[in-house]
């Protein structure tokens, strides 16, 4: 158990809908990272937040957005969902927040778009 | 631009024999390199990382990797495979693009270990 929690574990929705994925980092970690893992694209880094502010950006679509709240949990919002958004979404956390730090991954949220 | 290539999508070994998972990277500056492992239906776990210190990096569970700048390689090795090593392994390079830092993952190598 990495100490990173993600909810929900599974999510099934329809095209055009909007969903929110939630991540709670390890106690004391200030940085949260989001990743997408799909058969087509493999594992892609989406975005990093550090202590509430965006720090690094990867291949995140404009339809996707994220934020980190004062209690350090983070949410990833996916809107206007398409079939191709079906994937496993991972959250990771680290402290203090450099990309060279060890990142601890949550178990993931599996999103299925029908 | 930075990139990482895992040369084998699947590797199969017998228990007790050596493991070699190959990774080549491309980077315009001295990179940080990582190996992560993903067991079925689990999140990713860091095996080891290279951040410009010793070129031979030792990780968890008996794995190690050697950074070879001349060959732009960061191959992962283990002297003796165990059944529990069966998993998918990702080679990762840190990169900077458009003013942002990010991690770039290889396509993964699925390791099968046979009794």
Q: What is the pLDDT of residues A89-104, one digit of tens each?
A: 999 998 876 767 788 8
| Confidence at residue B1, expressed as pLDDT on a 0 to 100 scale | 73
Put simply, whether B107 touches A (Cβ < 8 Å) is yes
Mean pLDDT of B9-19: 97
| Confidence at residue A99, expressed as pLDDT on a 0 to 100 scale | 65
d(CA A31, CA A55): 9
Question: Which of B32, B43, B101 lies nearest to residue A2, judging by beta carbons?
Answer: B43
CB contact under 8 A, B103 and A99: yes
Question: Which of B42, B101, B104 lies nearest to residue A56, judging by beta carbons?
Answer: B101
CB contact under 8 A, A57 and B103: no
| Confidence at residue A97, expressed as pLDDT on a 0 to 100 scale | 66
| Confidence at residue B97, expressed as pLDDT on a 0 to 100 scale | 66
CA-closest candidate to residue B43, choices B76, B7, B87: B87
CA-closest candidate to residue B78, choices B48, B40, B42: B48
Percent of chain B predicted with pLDDT > 70: 95
| Residue B109, burial from CB neighbour count under 10 angstroms (0-12, 13-18, 19+) | buried
Mean pLDDT of chain A: 92
**Beta strands per DSSP E along A25-101:** 31-38, 42-50, 53-57, 64-68, 74-78, 87-94
Residues of B in contact with A2 (CB under 8 A): 43, 45
d(CA A46, CA A58): 5
pLDDT beyond 70 at B48: yes
Q: At which residue do the structure tokens 């283990």 appear?
A: B78
Give pLDDT tens digits for A38-90.
988 888 989 999 999 998 888 899 999 999 999 999 999 999 999 999 999 99
Give pLDDT tens digits for B16-36.
999 999 999 988 777 889 999
CB atoms within 10 A of CB B80: 12
pLDDT beyond 90 at B98: no
User: Are A7 and A106 within 8 A, CB to CB?
Assistant: no
Question: Which of A57, A90, A99 lies nearest to residue B94, judging by beta carbons?
Answer: A99
CA distances from B49 to A7, A70, A84, B53, B75 (A): 29, 30, 32, 10, 12
Residues of A in contact with B43 (CB under 8 A): 2, 4, 90, 92, 105-108
CB atoms within 10 A of CB A101: 19
pLDDT beyond 90 at A2: no
pLDDT beyond 80 at B101: no
Torsion, Cα A54 A11 B39 A25, to 10 degrees, reads 40
Phi, psi dihedrals of residue B83, rounded to the nearest 5°: -55, -35
Confidence bin at A7 (pLDDT 50/70/90): very high
CB contact under 8 A, A45 and B43: no
Mean pLDDT of chain B: 91
Residue of B nearest to A110 (CA): B41
Residues of B in contact with A90 (CB under 8 A): 43-44
CA-closest candidate to residue A110, choices A85, A92, A77, A93: A85
């Amino acid at each position: 158990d990495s100490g990173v929690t993600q909810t929900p574990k599974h999510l099934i929705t329809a095209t055009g809908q909007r969903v929110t994925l939630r991540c709670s980092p390890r106690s004391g970690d200030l940085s949260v990272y989001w990743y997408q893992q799909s058969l087509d694209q493999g594992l892609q880094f989406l975005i990093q937040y550090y202590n509430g502010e965006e720090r690094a950006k990867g291949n995140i679509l404009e339809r996707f957005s994220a934020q980190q709240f004062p209690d350090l949990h983070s949410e990833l919002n996916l809107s206007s969902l398409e079939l191709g958004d079906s994937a496993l979404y991972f959250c990771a956390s680290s402290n203090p927040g450099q990309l060279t730090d060890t990142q601890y991954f949550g178990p993931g949220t599996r999103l299925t778009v029908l | 631009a930075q990139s990482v290539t895992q040369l084998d999508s699947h590797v199969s070994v017998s228990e007790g024999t050596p493991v070699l998972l190959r990774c080549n990277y491309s980077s315009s500056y001295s990179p940080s390199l990582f190996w992560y492992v993903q067991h079925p239906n689990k999140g990713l776990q860091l095996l080891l990382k290279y951040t410009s210190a010793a070129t031979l990096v030792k990780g968890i569970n008996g794995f190690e990797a050697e950074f070879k700048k001349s060959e732009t390689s960061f191959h992962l090795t283990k002297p003796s495979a165990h059944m529990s090593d069966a998993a998918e392994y990702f080679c990762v390079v840190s990169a900077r693009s458009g003013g942002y830092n990010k991690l770039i993952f290889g396509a993964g190598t699925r390791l099968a270990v046979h009794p």
